[in-house]
């Protein structure tokens, strides 16, 4: 098994490389910080409303981003050190694992953030500035979601290995078997639904 520090560095490296994050992205965010940070509470209320509006996600209102959505949003516009920012996302991922916040909540909300912020920015700054801000936030939220999800996956896998003594190869074999069972069940359900239609 790869050493923990090495695996975390690999997660960060891949996320940075593939997210499209550019050198000036955080600088550009700092330039609009005063305007954008004023939306923090409104955005938090919007995200909490989304979570509360579905039975399956109600339980994450206080645990998604540690229940500090506005604080996390403001932090995007204050980044001084990129590595420190990335490690903070890993820490949030650890909090999410502890609080059982699933990856689908993190991934599904990321584009909602961008759409909401772009709409708000267009009202305040005009289309061109909003589009520029939206693209920057898309890169950063892609990076953040990737780091959170990969860290979440890594923590769960390592915990299972530590608690059971299972090797990586055995875990992969069990995972493949479970995935095949799920695929078979879904295929059977689909065939049943088609037969009834």
Tell me the Ramachandran region of residue 100: left when phi exceeds 0, alpha when psi lies from -120 to 50, beta otherwise.
left
The two three-digit tokens of residue 123, written as one number: 């009202």
Residue 145 exposure: Cα atoms within 13 Å on the Cβ side: 21
84-142 pLDDT tens trace: 888 888 888 888 888 889 989 988 998 899 899 999 999 988 999 899 989 998 888 88
d(CA 131, CA 179): 39
Instruction: Give me the mean pLDDT over the 151-174 stretch.
Output: 85
Identify which has the larger pLDDT, 175 or 115: 115
Percent of the chain exceeding pLDDT 90 equals: 29
So what's the pLDDT on residue 156? 85
pLDDT of 2 above 80? no
Check whether 5 has a pLDDT greater than 70: yes
197: pLDDT strictly greater than 70: yes
Q: Considering the entire predicted model, what is its pTM?
A: 0.75
Residue 1 pLDDT > 70, yes or no?
no
CA–CA separation, 112 and 126 (whole Å): 20
Distance in angstroms (rounded) separating the CA atoms of residues 27 and 123 = 22
Sign (positive or negative) of CA dihedral 33, 38, 41, 44: negative
State both tokens at 88.
């903070």
Q: Cα(130)–Cα(32) distance, rounded to whole angstroms?
A: 11
Please report the pLDDT score of residue 64 as a whole number.
Answer: 93
Q: What is the pLDDT at residue 38? A: 93
**pLDDT score for 141:** 86
Could you tell me where the DSSP H helices lie in the chain?
4-19, 25-31, 33-37, 40-52, 69-75, 82-98, 103-125, 127-164, 168-196
Q: 49-69 pLDDT, tens per residue?
A: 999 999 999 999 999 999 999
Give the HSE-up count for residue 159: Cα atoms under 13 Å, Cβ half-sphere. Answer: 9
Question: What is the mean predicted confidence (pLDDT) over 25-40?
Answer: 91
Say what percent of the chain tops pLDDT 70: 99
Q: What is the pLDDT of residue 182?
A: 87
């Amino acid at each position: 098994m790869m050493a923990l520090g090495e695996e975390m560095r690999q997660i960060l490296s891949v996320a940075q490389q593939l997210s499209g994050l550019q050198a000036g992205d955080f600088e550009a965010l700092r330039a609009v910080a005063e305007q954008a940070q004023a939306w923090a509470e409104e955005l938090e209320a919007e995200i909490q409303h989304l979570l509360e509006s579905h039975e399956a996600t109600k339980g994450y209102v206080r645990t998604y981003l540690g229940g500090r959505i506005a604080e996390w949003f403001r932090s995007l516009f204050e980044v001084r050190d990129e590595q420190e920012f990335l490690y903070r996302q890993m820490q949030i991922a650890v909090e999410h694992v502890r609080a059982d916040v699933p990856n689908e909540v993190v991934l599904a909300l990321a584009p909602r953030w961008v759409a909401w912020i772009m709409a708000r920015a267009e009202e305040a700054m005009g289309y061109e500035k909003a589009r520029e801000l939206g693209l920057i936030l898309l890169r950063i939220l892609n990076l953040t979601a990737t780091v959170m999800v990969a860290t979440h996956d890594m923590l769960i896998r390592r915990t299972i290995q530590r608690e059971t003594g299972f090797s990586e190869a055995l875990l992969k074999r069990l995972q493949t078997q479970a995935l095949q069972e799920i695929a078979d069940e879904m295929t059977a359900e689909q065939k049943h639904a088609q037969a009834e239609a």
